[in-house]
Amino acid sequence: MHGLLGPAEIRELAQELGVRPTKKLGQNFVHDTNTVRRIVSAARLTPDDVVVEVGPGLGSLTLALLPACRRVVAVEIDPVLAERLPRTVRDRLPRLADRLDVVGADALRVHADALPGPAPTALVANLPYNVAVPVVLHLLAELPSLTSGLVMVQAEVADRLAAAPGGKAYGAPSVKLAWYADARRAGAVPRTVFWPVPNVDSALVSFTCRQPPSPVDRRVLFSVVDAAFAQRRKTLRAALAGWTGSADNSGRLLREAGVDPSARGEQLRVDQFARIAEVAVAHGVDHSPVR
Ligand code: SAM
């Protein structure tokens, strides 16, 4: 594969643009061609896939994605980087340049109708780490056309996203991602592949979308999950007392949902949370949705 960006090219582009990577935007650019190849191969794209890439930055991953799929729509918040990307692709992969659309926008707020071209089928990104979880959840909610994803995130966040019930890493992000998809960790990535070198470790998370486990309103389910994990050491009966109005109410509701009231949130699968939400809706306890 030609045209990928190594350390010299990244330095050159950054210098030309006067880029001073900011922590606020999680700007750590990959300057290792093996890493972008590895991300693309772990994403298991087909030639029909339409990829949404969040935060293309200088284009390291974009250039590796273009030969592997039908189109890439890249959403970049930094206007200087968004403006330069089409030219980088024209210079380095001229034959594939018309496969790319760049959207200058905040991925946390972008709407499906702001993305040109066919509906995205895969999310592949080296995410800005400070907003990685909300970006993934926002895009899954906004783009029901997604069927799979491969994201690079901070290692601890990868653990959380891919965690199964019962462990310390299992929390609200695990359950919310499990609503949409089956997720797993897809390997660690060393710090040295980035410029500048971040002070956290990184890892890949791969996910495959599937039908949600219940027809219940996702926003009600997510508010149950948030309430359960806001006080994760408490029993569900106690943790959901505020949400249901009282500990007696939550005890009744949990029993009706087939969940032991003395269990803790970290022990429950997404379908059990969904059952709680279903019973809550049936009793009119569907609190103001969070998102
Ligand atoms: N993909 C590039 C790479 O691998 O070298 C850059 C990855 S860097 C970790 C994150 C990128 O996300 C930066 O280009 C940053 O400007 C962009 N970014 C940060 N917050 C964003 C947001 N809310 N929406 C879209 N892009 C964002």
Q: Give the C-alpha separation, 253 to 236, whole Å.
A: 10
Tokens 């998102």 found at: 291
Any ligand 1 atom below 6 A from CB of 55: yes
Mutate to test the pocket of ligand 1, among 106, 126, 151, 200 (most ligand atoms within 8 A of CB): 126
Residues 6+ apart with CB under 8 A from 252: none
Work out which ligand 1 atom sits closest to the CA atom of 107.
24
Nearest CA to ligand 1 atom 21: 77
Span from the CA of 145 to the centroid of ligand 1 (angstroms) = 22
Residues 6+ apart with CB under 8 A from 74: 52, 53, 54, 56, 62, 82, 85, 100, 101, 102, 103
Question: DSSP labels for 24-37?
Answer: TTT--EE--HHHHH
Any ligand 1 atom below 6 A from CB of 126: yes
CB 169 within 8 A of CB 133: no
Any ligand 1 atom below 6 A from CB of 266: no
Helices 155-162 & 172-180 angle (0-180, nearest 10): 60
Give the pLDDT of residue 56.
98
Span from the CA of 104 to the centroid of ligand 1 (angstroms) = 11
Mutate to test the pocket of ligand 1, among 78, 85, 124 (most ligand atoms within 8 A of CB): 78
| DSSP letter (8 states) at residue 270 | H
Any ligand 1 atom below 6 A from CB of 132: no
Which parts of 150-246 fold into alpha helices (H)?
155-162, 172-180, 218-230, 236-239, 241-244
Any ligand 1 atom below 6 A from CB of 150: no
Nearest CA to ligand 1 atom 19: 25
Any ligand 1 atom below 6 A from CB of 88: no
Any ligand 1 atom below 6 A from CB of 60: yes
Nearest CA to ligand 1 atom 20: 25
Give the pLDDT of residue 286.
64
Give the pLDDT of residue 287.
64
Give the pLDDT of residue 224.
97
Any ligand 1 atom below 6 A from CB of 17: no
CB 257 within 8 A of CB 279: yes
Give the pLDDT of residue 232.
87
Angle at 154 between CA 151 and CA 157, to 5 degrees: 85
Nearest CA to ligand 1 atom 11: 55
Q: Which of 45, 57, 213 is nearest to 122 (CA)?
A: 45
Span from the CA of 29 to the centroid of ligand 1 (angstroms) = 8
Span from the CA of 244 to the centroid of ligand 1 (angstroms) = 39
Work out which ligand 1 atom sits closest to the CA atom of 56.
1
Residues of the chain with pLDDT under 70: 1-2, 286-291
Assessment of whether the complete model's pTM goes beyond 0.75: yes
What the chain holds in terms of domains, given with CATH numbers, is 7-209 (3.40.50.150), 218-282 (1.10.8.100)
Give the pLDDT of residue 2.
62
